[in-house]
């Protein structure tokens, strides 16, 4: 398998992981029990490990696309962090754990607004990844 083909496969996996994480968050907000929460740290999620783990992406994608994806990924985790705080953050202290209750309606409404933002950011990331994939396809194998 060529390095180009391998990178395209990795890019598809990163794209798929982003889509799966969004679905998982949507399901959790809908009341479903989610086993593995998305990491809050952008370097720990599957997309982040791929994106920041390959030192050649900036060169292959070009600085503009790379920096756009980096900014979108940072914003994605910022919005997710707000949802995480409302729904998933473990409460500290005995009484907080004992009294742990559902988020208030106001908090749920805020989380839905954050989710709307997260969905928009995800779509923009997916569109940018598509452009990156086209760019990778257009490059000669020698660039890899």
Q: Which domain holds residue 61?
A: 3-143
Those residues with Cβ within 8 angstroms of residue 9's Cβ, 6 or more apart along the chain or in another chain: none
Query: Of 51-55, 68-72, 124-128, 137-141, which range is least confident?
Result: 51-55
Tokens for 103?
A: 């988020």
Pairwise CA distance, residues 121 & 49, whole Å: 19
Total number of domains constituting the chain: 1
Q: What's the predicted TM-score (pTM) here?
A: 0.88
Placement of tokens 């696309």 in the chain: 65
Tell the burial category of 56 from Cβ atoms under 10 Å away from its Cβ (0-12, 13-18, 19+): exposed
- Residue 79 has φ and ψ, to the nearest 5°, of -65, -40
> Is the pLDDT at 10 greater than 80, yes or no?
yes
């Amino acid at each position: 398998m060529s390095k180009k083909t391998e990178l395209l496969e990795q890019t598809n996996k990163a794209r798929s992981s982003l889509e799966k994480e969004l679905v998982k968050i949507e399901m959790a907000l809908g009341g479903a029990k989610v086993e593995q929460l998305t990491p809050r740290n952008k370097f720990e999620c599957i997309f982040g490990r791929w994106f920041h783990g390959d030192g050649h992406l900036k060169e292959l994608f070009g600085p503009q696309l790379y920096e756009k994806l980096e900014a979108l990924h940072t914003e994605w985790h910022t919005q997710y962090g707000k949802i995480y705080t409302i729904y998933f953050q473990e409460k500290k202290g005995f009484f907080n754990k004992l009294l742990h209750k559902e988020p208030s309606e106001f908090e749920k409404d805020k989380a839905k607004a954050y989710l709307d933002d997260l969905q928009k950011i995800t779509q923009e990331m997916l569109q940018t990844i598509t452009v990156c994939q086209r760019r990778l396809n257009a490059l000669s194998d020698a660039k890899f």
